Amino acid sequence: MRAEPKASHFVDGAWLEDSAGAPIEVIYPGTGEVIARLHAATPAVIEAALASAARAQGAWAALRPVERGRILHRAAELIRVRGEELAVLETLDTGKPLQETRVADWPSGADALEYFAGLAATVTGETIPLGRDFVYTLREPLGVCVGIGAWNYPSQIACWKAAPALALGNAMVFKPSEVTPLGALQLAAILTEAGLPAGLFNVVQGMGAVGAALVADARVAKVSLTGSVATGKRVYTAAAAGMKAVTMELGGKSPLIVFEDASLEDAVGAAMLGNFYSSGQVCSNGTRVFVQKRLKAAFLARLAERVAGIVAGDPLDPATQFGPLVSAAQVARVLGYIERARAEGARLVCGGGPGNAGPLFVQPTVFADVTDGMEIAREEVFGPVMAVLEFDTEAEVVARANATPYGLAAGVFTADMARAHRVIGALQAGTTWINAYNLTPVEAPFGAVKASGLGRENGRAAVEHYSRVKSVYVGLGPVEAPY
């Protein structure tokens, strides 16, 4: 048990175990070995978490925002001091290479805590003059929030949800994915060490039934989910029954458009980042790579050369660039998409099979001559599979890029900045890039349109999703009444 935590849950400021819950085995994807055994939350654990959150939230909201911010600042500093041990834990939990987890996972989480710590004291209302009378507004916390995480960036997601919730005076009960349950527990312990009062950030483990119980509870005011579109629809329906606020960051099938005047090296590099980083397990990936016809041959040739240089191997080896998928089920799913792409007539450029670095590896795979109707151009694979499509004109590629129920992300590569802004303006996506891809600084709002989600995480936009506005009318004269 290389990564066994002190207990399965963290509730009311302390570790909590209840062995009556269903067992959860944590698998290290690098080798397939079991590295921890946890238990799903029982009804008693769920009740303890929700009750402690409801009890603690009022006093927390009453604190000066700058005092809440100080605690989050201390937590961010603790994360940075313990960066190496947290990166190793993230690699064991997810299988992502240490090369990634050192710079992308917990560091992004620390950035979020730091950003919202500083933002907390700047969130104010407004005064609206009405002649003799006036109105002022207050921005208040929502209350108890539920966060539900995904397995691809488990610790980053926990921080992205906890930081704005706590900074704005809310409490949170967080359920990580049962596939990657370890990081959120460490976040809870770090927040407690930093001075967060007991009950304000609770972590409970479990599968869908635990999440459903949290969402349905009457004490919960808001639900924030990162997950699949199918899961999002179920959670949104359940939250709507209680008129709860929601933030949904779901899946995508995002377009990355490469015009013929683009920098070839930059475009190829971005396409690889947008398909092979984290072994392709990134919701915003640009998995439909549209390349203008006159650049297509050079693009594919250079892409194949650079893919051949990707270093796959032991995720704990700092030289490794490419790791395994998170589970055997995910490997089977991705290999199924690859086989069906071949059957539909897509041309395999490179990869296309299991990797040789371990049982859960799949080779970085590129398909060319992909058409819009093929399955790999329509459905989210969530693995290292790139679909390259050809286009002629700007109008054509914009129409084809938008012909999807998804709308999470999009990117454009071109030397013509007027065209870049024009195309980005026409694309139906919530998070977009020009001559870059998959950069998500905490200062910028992150979110989607269409079936890919609702609301925004990060940036000042997150304030709208973790607080509400109260209007206060102040009368300064006699009351006029017709009675």
Task: Say how far apart CA 238 and CA 161 lie, in whole Å.
Answer: 20
Q: Six-digit token pair at 203?
A: 């972590």
DSSP 42: P
Q: Which residues of 83-104 are buried (b: 16+ CB within 10 A; e: fewer)?
A: beebbbbbbbbbbbbbbbbbeb
Q: Does residue 283 have an active-site annotation? A: yes
Residue type, 427: L
The helix or strand, by DSSP H or E, that contains position 79, with its residue range, turns out to be helix 65-81
Expressed in angstroms, the distance from the first to the final Cα of the chain is 77
Report the 10 Å Cβ neighbour count for 274: 23
Task: Say how far apart CA 476 and CA 297 lie, in whole Å.
Answer: 74
Rg (CA), the chain: 24
Task: Say how far apart CA 111 and CA 330 lie, in whole Å.
Answer: 30
Report the 10 Å Cβ neighbour count for 128: 13
Q: Does residue 77 have an active-site annotation? A: no
Residue of 90, 100, 114, 249 marked catalytic: 249
**Cβ neighbours of residue 266 closer than 8 Å, sequence gap 6 or more:** 413, 435
Residue type, 13: G
Residue of 90, 114, 380, 457 marked catalytic: 457
Q: Does residue 161 have an active-site annotation? A: yes
**C-alpha to C-alpha distances, 425 to 306, 407, 433, 452, nearest whole angstrom:** 31, 13, 11, 18
Q: Six-digit token pair at 457?
A: 């995480």
Q: Does residue 249 have an active-site annotation? A: yes
Residue of 90, 96, 161, 380 marked catalytic: 161
Q: Are 100 and 10 in contact (CB under 8 A)?
A: no
Q: Where are the beta strands (DSSP E) in 179-298?
A: 201-203, 220-226, 245-249, 255-258, 288-292
Residue of 100, 283, 296, 394 marked catalytic: 283
Residues with a catalytic annotation lie at 161, 249, 283, 457
